Amino acid sequence: MRAKKALQTASLQRTPRSVNSISVALGIRKSAVLWRQFPELCRVIEARRAKLRERQVHRIETALRSALTEDPPPSVKSLSERVGFSDSWAYHHFPALCRALGACRFKRKHQELAIIQSKLRAALSEEPAPSLDVLCSRVGKSISHLAFLLPSLHRRLQKRYAVRRAGEVAQRQAAYRLEVRRVVTELEAQGIYPSRQRVLSLIAGPALTSSQLSREIKRIRRGLQLGQH
């Protein structure tokens, strides 16, 4: 009676266990025993399970076909996690669809890489040379990923920006040195000793290190003294 009740309960469930798992739960070594004693109940259970499997297979096939039209197309693994199935099961039952999805992803990545490459090549002639941070923001990639995808182009862009930065630093330092010369000259003309602190207090924003500024002041003073002789 216990076996019959278990089978009857399972036959009414939406997702019944298999006859084999029921026999194991009942301590019956072989499910054939249940099939001999209750063939109708066993057929009902297995028919329901077969229908459920058919629906599941159809659902997964539909999900795979639909994924082929997504942009960007998902991987089989991410799709399996989203829909709720095993990716290995999908590869086994729908190898052609899985391969097609993989081909779509490869094509999409190739197209995306071509667009990124085109934008970065255009940046090689852009003035002033943009930084890698700016470029990565434009193409939606990190600097490390960009270096991995397009190492040669990454190096060229990095070098170009470094040259720009070096030029900007040189220009700032040249302008700063001119300002230092003006201040030192004025202080000397007033008979005031142009100490580093005094010069710093009269110039906005140091563009030289303390030692560089001290050397620059000394160089200017020597030039002024030589000019007086």
Question: pLDDT (tens digit, 9 = 90+) per residue, 139-188?
Answer: 999 999 999 999 999 999 999 999 999 999 999 888 888 988 998 999 98
**Angstrom distance (rounded) from CA 76 to CA 154:** 31
Segment 185-210, tens digit of pLDDT: 999 889 899 988 998 888 877 778 88
Residues 6+ apart with CB under 8 A from 162: none
Segment 30-89, tens digit of pLDDT: 899 889 998 999 899 999 999 999 999 999 999 999 999 998 899 999 999 999 999 999
Confidence band of 226 (pLDDT split at 50, 70, 90): low
**Angstrom distance (rounded) from CA 73 to CA 93:** 20
Neighbours of 206 (CB within 10 A): 13
**Angstrom distance (rounded) from CA 97 to CA 106:** 14
Which pLDDT belongs to residue 128? 94
Place of tokens 């709720």: 84
DSSP 28: -
**Angstrom distance (rounded) from CA 26 to CA 193:** 104
180, 219 contact by CB (below 8 A): no
Environment class of residue 125 by beta-carbon count within 10 Å: exposed (0-12), middle (13-18) or buried (19+)? exposed
- Could you give the C-alpha distances from 49 to 13, 34, 54, in angstroms and in order? 10, 17, 9
Which pLDDT belongs to residue 58? 94
pTM of the predicted structure, to 2 decimals: 0.60
**Angstrom distance (rounded) from CA 37 to CA 3:** 9
163, 129 contact by CB (below 8 A): yes
Q: Can you give the length of the chain in residues?
A: 229
Torsion angle of the four alpha carbons 46, 48, 49, 51, in this order, in degrees rounded to the nearest 10: 120
Max Cα distance, the chain (Å): 126
| Domain ranges, ordered by start, for the chain | 1-63, 132-228
- Could you give the C-alpha distances from 176 to 184, 192, 203, 205, in angstroms and in order? 12, 20, 8, 9
